[in-house]
Amino acid sequence: MIEMTLSEVADAVNGRLVLGSAASAADGAETVVLGESQTDSREVRPGEIFFARRGEETDGHLFAARAVDAGAALVVAEHEVDDRVPQILVSETTEALGALATEVVRRVRDRGALTIVGITGSNGKTTTKNLVAAMAERLGPTVASAKSFNNEVGGPLTMLRVEHRTRTLVAEMGASAPGEIARLARMAPPHIGVVLSVGLAHAGEFGGIETTFRTKSEMVRDLPDDAVAVLNRDDPRVAQMADLTAARVLWFGVHPEAEVRASDIDSDAEGTRFTLHAGGHEARVRFRVLGEHHVMNALAAAAIGLELGLPIADVVEALEAATLAAPGRMQVLGGRDGITVVNDAYNASPDSMSAALRTLAQIRRPEGRSVAVLGAMSELGEYSIEEHIRVGLQAVRLRISELVVVGAEARHLHISAINEGSWDGESVFFETQDEAYAYLLRTLRPLDTVLVKSSNAAGLQGLGDRLGEAYA
């Protein structure tokens, strides 16, 4: 974070400064803080700011003393908690976190050297963010969202890492309800606003695809005319957003109208190769991130990289240097006896589940089987049964050799598959991961290709890791 005095922080968050018992008269309100901000006391390091936030399961105020013991220089809280360090008392801690992020970004942005990239979409945010961050690093110091820090807490924590020397801020901006992307975009107004896709991820929370569309379009609705909206030309709902923004539109996709597009796409177990077309240039790209669907993320990242000022050769080099979308996302493990395990269980939506199954069908060895180990897709609300049934039917139609369905919430997927009479494969169901793991150890054959896919809440990422270790 940039240097700010205690009084400046208090003003930014509209709070009341209470100097701790250790504060000297010589320092007081003019003491400077510049450490990162944390909402988890276990993450606090000396000199950092701890926001005592009330969460769904616990209350950060209960852990303020632990944060001070770890070296916190300042605590932002809703009531006094520990007088060993200065405290700033606010009416609501999460709002204060966002207010401080807004002020820090404003100060850095006003100096004119910071470019802000905001990325949203139903799928692909983290992969695209990682690719863009790698490109932006070539131009200067870059701050990017850690993990999937993209909500009302993770977003501000990322923004507060910005310093005066930061050249690019790459921020995921996610949402579980309307208005959240707009709120994040007000904290860090993007110069480049990106919408990757509009799908059924979180449809249960949003209340339907049209609400999802309106929520994702918050990324571009308030962009000024000197900003850039990077939009997926292949997604018809995203394409509609061109009419909702004053910003210049930069299209990406395989559509012939896309200014940054791909052709001659070819996928296998080693990744995907495609020809990148942009600005009158073309280049062959060997993209080692597994899954043809990740080409769209690569195109979005290429469009952003070019917009940031990178030459196409550097964009290609950055894409070819990437080997993993993110841990738990199309992560290739195993190898013993020719058994390949693809762990893609960090998250799942109907679109990403469909894409992962298509990838499995594409990359299976002719001599081996394709085995899909599938768990539940979360946050689908009223669409849950319908979408799990649809995934089961798709697995059959792609002629996946075997389905291993894990967990009661995914049972409809299993039932859908076994009810499809034209299928010559099979589907088995297990309540627990341990049962599925034991079954797979008994039945996997040399040269099999195994996909492990579920939402994070279903917890199959650990099963994928265990299989990868077993067949390392």
**Helix, strand, coil % over all residues of the chain, rounded to 5:** 40, 20, 40
pLDDT exceeds cutoff 60 at 447: yes
Give the residue from 127, 51, 65 showing the smallest Cα distance to 322: 127
Round to whole Å and give the CA distance between 245 and 31: 43
Q: How confident is the model at residue 338 (pLDDT cuts 50, 70, 90)?
A: very high
Q: Which two tokens stand for residue 230?
A: 């990077």
**Residue 124 annotated in ligand binding:** yes
Between 27 and 311, the more confident residue is 311
Convert the pLDDT of each residue in 396-429 to its tens digit: 999 999 999 999 999 999 999 888 765 666 899 9
Residues in contact with 106: Cβ distance below 8 Å, sequence separation at least 6, in sequence order: none
The share of the chain scoring above pLDDT 70, in percent, equals: 95
What is the DSSP secondary structure assignment for residue 122, as one 8-state letter? S
Convert the pLDDT of each residue in 5-24 to its tens digit: 999 999 999 999 998 776 54
Return the pLDDT at 209.
Answer: 78
**Residue 166 annotated in ligand binding:** no
The share of the chain scoring above pLDDT 90, in percent, equals: 73
pLDDT exceeds cutoff 90 at 211: no
pLDDT exceeds cutoff 80 at 325: no
Q: Which two tokens stand for residue 229?
A: 């909206």
Average pLDDT in the chain: 91
Cβ-based neighbour number of residue 329 at 10 Å: 24
Find where tokens 């899909």 sit: 372
pLDDT exceeds cutoff 70 at 374: yes
Q: What is the mean pLDDT of residues 326-334?
A: 78
Find where tokens 């970004």 sit: 105
**Residue 384 annotated in ligand binding:** no
Round to whole Å and give the CA distance between 161 and 144: 9
pLDDT exceeds cutoff 50 at 25: no
**Residue 354 annotated in ligand binding:** no
Convert the pLDDT of each residue in 214-265 to its tens digit: 999 999 999 999 999 999 999 999 999 999 999 999 999 999 999 999 999 9
The full set of domains in the chain, from first to last, is 4-91 (3.40.1390.10), 111-321 (3.40.1190.10), 331-470 (3.90.190.20)
Buried b (16+ CB within 10 A) or exposed e, 207-231: eeeeebbbbbbbbbbbbeeebbbbb
Q: What is the mean pLDDT of residues 295-308?
A: 97
| HEC readout, 311-322 | CHHHHHHHHHHC
**Residue 129 annotated in ligand binding:** no
Q: With beta carbons less than 8 A apart as the criterion, state whether 203 and 379 touch.
A: yes
Q: How confident is the model at residue 314 (pLDDT cuts 50, 70, 90)?
A: very high
pLDDT exceeds cutoff 70 at 206: no
**Residue 115 annotated in ligand binding:** no
Phi-psi category of residue 325: left, alpha or beta, with phi > 0 → left and psi -120 to 50 → alpha: alpha
Convert the pLDDT of each residue in 104-144 to its tens digit: 999 999 988 899 999 999 888 988 999 999 999 999 999 99
Single-letter amino acid code for the residue at 98: G
Q: How confident is the model at residue 328 (pLDDT cuts 50, 70, 90)?
A: low
pLDDT exceeds cutoff 60 at 205: no
**Residue 127 annotated in ligand binding:** yes
Cβ-based neighbour number of residue 316 at 10 Å: 22
Q: How confident is the model at residue 26 (pLDDT cuts 50, 70, 90)?
A: very low
Q: What is the dihedral of CA 310, 316, 317, 319, to 10 degrees?
A: 110
Least confident segment among 160-169, 173-182, 236-245, 432-441: 173-182
Q: Which two tokens stand for residue 201?
A: 């991820």
